[in-house]
Amino acid sequence: MNATSPEAAATGRIVLLTTSHRVAPGLLSWPAWQALHGADRVLCADGAHPQLPYLREAGITVDEAAPSAEELIDACAGGHTVVVVATGEGEPTLTDGLARLAGSGRIQMPDLELLPASYDLPGARLLDLVQVMDRIRAECPWSSQQTHKGLAKYGIEEAYELVEAIEDGDREELREELGDVLLQVVFHARIAEEDPQAPFSIDDVAGGIVTKLIHRHPHVFGDETATTPEEVKEHWLRTKAVEKQRESVTEGIPLGQPGLALASKLASRVRTAGLEVPLPSGEGVGYELLAMAVRAEAAGVDPEAALRVAARAYRDAVQAAEGLFA
């Protein structure tokens, strides 16, 4: 129904105004303020709704009321506009009642409008995660006692589970494992807030990586240009070298990572730096694996991933020999 038609003028208009608790109260869209100022009545079932003080300060009279669907339709009679400021649950009882009456065909319905007065931007649920983590850290007997060292093994486990989900191609598992890795970041940042000597927060962590990404992408945020992935990598390595001021290309490589990955990373650094470094001579499987990892890296193959693929094939062969696929 057209809001300017005689029928709309007679039956009126109901506006369900929703807000996000992640956006500061009072920061509403211009259409929302227009609807509020132009309404004949503004209702809210929650007298403690965080928006109410700001609405009243703006000169809007808000009645604390929770009308039924029938009562709300009656309030619109004569062409009146009623704005309902939705509670956090979104007024499901009211909307279900209105839908039921609309579907019955027994009465002439007013215009119904859902008006988001404030809404979440991408990443808004991260704020929920931070709040949940705050409460868990404060109230959970196990979580409140955890330390960086105590959680370290879980970070490694979750990273491996994420890799497995990627290699399996399982989208649901990938989404879940990304969440588990994200939890490790938020958990460690929350613990870091309590350090008496050098505290930092999740905002400091996020701010640091934002600054790093902007600085290392001058072709996006600055005046430099890059048209190929190779040029992007050159920008990255050049700016990283200036930032770190390292004396050796081996600095910053974690020695605790799996052996093949470690050998591949060392070989990558040596190749990128243009160094000619002969492999150490020695006998045994370790030196053979080192040579294989270096050759794989030079060929653009991740030796760790390649070995995992082969190991999975071996696992399947074992299970077939056990008759599990029969």
123: nearest Cα among 221, 49, 210: 210
**What pLDDT score was predicted for residue 177?**
97
**What pLDDT score was predicted for residue 326?**
56
Report CA-CA distances (Å) from 257 to 160, 187, 268: 12, 22, 15
Distance of CA 147 to the CA centre of its chain: 24
The answer, yes or no, to whether residue 3 has pLDDT greater than 60, is no
Q: What is the mean pLDDT of the chain?
A: 90
**pLDDT confidence tier of residue 10, bands split at 50, 70 and 90:** low
**pLDDT confidence tier of residue 280, bands split at 50, 70 and 90:** very high
Cα separation of 15 and 1, whole Å? Answer: 14
Helix (H), strand (E) at residue 114: strand 111-116
The CATH number that domain 121-200 falls under is: 1.10.287.1080
pTM to 2 decimals?
0.70
pLDDT tens digits for 59-105? 999 999 999 999 999 999 999 999 999 987 788 889 999 999 988 88
Torsion of Cα atoms, 259 then 260 then 261 then 262, to 10°: 50
**pLDDT confidence tier of residue 107, bands split at 50, 70 and 90:** confident
The answer, yes or no, to whether residue 8 has pLDDT greater than 80, is no
Q: Which residues, other chains included, contact 44 with Cβ-Cβ below 8 Å and sequence gap of 6+?
A: 51, 52, 62, 63, 64, 65, 84, 85, 87
Beta-bridge mates of residue 114 = 16
The CATH number that domain 6-116 falls under is: 3.40.1010.10
Residue 60 main-chain phi, psi, to 5 deg? -100, 125
**What pLDDT score was predicted for residue 1?**
41
**What pLDDT score was predicted for residue 241?**
73
- Give the mean model confidence (pLDDT) for residues 226-241: 81
Burial label, 145 (beta-carbon count in 10 A; 0-12, 13-18, 19+): exposed
Report CA-CA distances (Å) from 133 to 20, 127, 130, 152, 186: 20, 10, 5, 17, 7
**What pLDDT score was predicted for residue 55?**
96
**What pLDDT score was predicted for residue 246?**
76
pLDDT tens digits for 303-321? 999 999 999 999 989 999 9
The three-point CA angle 223-228-234 to 5° equals 70
DSSP state of 62: -
**SS3 at position 14:** strand
Which tokens in the block code for residue 240? 């990283």
The answer, yes or no, to whether residue 5 has pLDDT greater than 60, is no
Half-sphere exposure of 292 (CA within 13 A, CB side): 13
Cα separation of 126 and 69, whole Å? Answer: 35
Cα separation of 256 and 198, whole Å? Answer: 25
